Amino acid sequence: MSGVTVVGGGLAGMTAAWTLRGLGLPVRLLEAAPGLGGMAGSRVIEGRTEDHGVHIFPAWYRNTLRLVRELGIERNLRKARNFHQLLPGEFPAFRTAVTPAADRLLFYYGVIDLLSQRYGPRDESLHDFLHSRWYLTEAAIADIEHLFVASSAAESPAVSAAGFRGSIAAFARHPGPVRMPRGDLERWFIGPFRERLEADGVEVRTGSELTAVTVSGDRLETLTVRGADGATVTEEAGGHVVLALPHGRLSALGGEVTGALRPPHGVTELTSRPLGALHLYLRRRLPQLPDEHVRLVGSPHALTLLDVGRAWRGHEVTVLNCVVGRVCRLAELSETEAVKVLVDELSTYLPDLTWDDIEHVCYQPHFAAPFFAPGPGSARFRPHSATALANVHIAGDHCAAPPGVAGMESAVRSGLTAAESVRRALRPEAPPVRIEPIGDISPSAARLLRTALAPLAAAVRSLTTRTRGR
């Protein structure tokens, strides 16, 4: 087939297909699953549409939000102004901050200190950074580490300090409200996206899994695809191919593909971790829950939740969508045992919640569908879109991106960079694909501010030591 074949119908592949079709190229999109969207999509489980987890769109998701505007679905997102925090035994008193004022001041100084670092190829873990700072208290460190694992599934020793710095800089450079979908992403994002793809002439084939490829010289020559019926077909690659696959599936294609990546073989060094989801459908509406995100402070399994029964349309009862940051701790338990542990944990924060309230449970540990989590030093292993194979391009949230950029924004950005790689090969006369930059903070400016505030940090740290000593 001439034109472009995009393999992988997650957000990266969908974005690449959308952008390439906009360049006037014939495009087909192959996806192994029955539907599109990948981790941004939804699945029908026991007759209910279930998201992979809870999704948010920060203001610094510049490429993702521009895509939403291009698709004409801005109204499908609503602003969320608060992020609530709940301690055991305090319901219904929600907080905006949980650490004492002095610890928060030291945390803010730590943010400035982190922004002053110039990592480059050098990196360290978030754990090492936090525990090497003389001014940070144990309370401040514990709160930072718990907040991070609740959103990324990665404990601080496995988190890149450079990546954490990049995400803080992005929030600082692109302030604005966080947006959240008005319902499940299948209905409010992925479904409309697929409709636009097909209306614009993209051939979408779900239930089509790439199982093998062959390479001849500097080109990918054939694709072997297994259909939903189990039959396999080997065909000429023809034109260009965008491999929008998770890094594990990319590695499984063999050394001729991974050796063509830039950097070569680095993709095998990347890691992913499962980010679990627990959805509880109740028989009634729990009173006094907000319609925005809640972090359960000190939760052993790093739980955050959203009552979509309040936040989404069409519900009259509470539906708790919970993210399980430390789902790996439940790996040895049966589903029934894991659900019991999590519900018991929820009950320590929501005392009105009882087992009799629960009508239906959907537990998704996602052990087989882990979430890419950039670790210390991983930036040098993340592949670029262009490869040593003249007709192969790479997309996926694991691809090269500014530090801290992962998740949906990384997936969308990689789809755009892959489309730009194809454009340079097939449409060099066309304008470059537009890719919104993610802002950064000057380390030099942050270093000056850190120096100026050092006496204040020392005074606050001394005060907390004397106060807690008494």
DSSP 332-396: TS-HHHHHHHHHHHHHHH-TT--GGGEEEEEEE--TTSPEE---TTGGGGSPPSB-SSTTEEE-S
pLDDT digits (tens, 9 = 90+) for 236-264: 998 999 999 999 999 999 999 999 999 98
Separation of alpha carbons 224 and 380, rounded Å: 31
Q: What is the mean pLDDT of the chain?
A: 93
Is residue 341's pLDDT more than 60?
yes
Burial level of 235, CB count in 10 A (0-12/13-18/19+)? Answer: exposed
Which of residues 448 and 470 earns the better pLDDT score? 448
CA 20 to CA 37: how far, in whole Å? 18
- Any residues with CB less than 8 A from the CB of 340 and at least 6 apart, and which? none
Specify the pLDDT at position 389.
97
Mean local confidence (pLDDT), 293-301: 92
- Distance between CA atoms of 370 and 324, rounded to whole angstroms? 12
- Max Cα separation, the chain? 76
pLDDT of residue 153: 66
Sequence letter at residue 345: E
Neighbours of 81 (CB within 10 A): 7
Q: What is the distance between the alpha carbons of residues 94 and 289, in angstroms, rounded to a whole number?
A: 9
pLDDT above 80 for 112 = yes
- Residue whose pair of structure tokens reads 């000190």 in the numeric block: 298
Q: What pLDDT score was predicted for residue 464?
A: 87
SS3 77: strand
Q: How high is the pLDDT of residue 110?
A: 93
pLDDT band at 469 (very low <50, low <70, confident <90, very high): low
**Would you place residue 470 in the very low, low, confident or very high pLDDT band (cuts 50, 70, 90)?**
low
Q: Is the peptide bond before 370 cis (omega within 30 degrees of 0)?
A: no
Among 47-56, 77-86, 150-159, 428-437, the minimum mean pLDDT is found in 150-159
Greater pLDDT, 286 or 52? 286
Tens-place pLDDT, residues 170-222: 999 999 999 999 999 999 999 999 999 999 999 999 999 999 999 999 999 99
- Report the distance separating Cα 239 and Cα 26, nearest Å: 10
Going by pLDDT thresholds of 50, 70 and 90, the confidence category of residue 283 is very high
The residue-averaged pLDDT of 370-376 equals 88
DSSP calls for 262-312: SSTTGGGG--EE--EEEEEEESSPPTT--SS-EEETT-TT-EEEEEHHHHS
Q: By C-alpha distance, which of 39, 60, 114 is closest to 369?
A: 39
**Mean of pLDDT values over 339-347:** 97
Among residues 94, 41, 63, the alpha carbon closest in space to that of 350 is found at 94
pLDDT of residue 156: 87
Beta bridge pairs of residue 125: 160
Which whole number is the average pLDDT over 114-127?
Answer: 91
Any residues with CB less than 8 A from the CB of 220 and at least 6 apart, and which?
213, 214, 237, 241, 257, 389, 391, 392
How far is Cα 406 from Cα 398, in angstroms, rounded to an integer? 7
Confidence band for 1, pLDDT divided at 50, 70 and 90: very low
Q: What is the pLDDT of residue 451?
A: 97
Reading the block at residue 119, the tokens are: 């990592």
Half-sphere exposure for 97 (CA within 13 Å, toward CB):
11
Residue 436 DSSP label: P
From residue 412, alpha-carbon distances to 65, 68, 193, 216, 421 in Å are 10, 11, 13, 30, 14
3-state secondary structure of 177: coil
**Residues 388, 218: contact at Cβ < 8 Å?**
yes
Residue 23 and residue 17: Cα distance in Å, rounded? 10
List CB contacts of 262: < 8 A, sequence separation 6 or more: 383, 384, 386, 387, 388
Mean pLDDT of 321-338: 95
Residues above pLDDT 90, as percent of the chain:
78
SS3 for 237?
coil
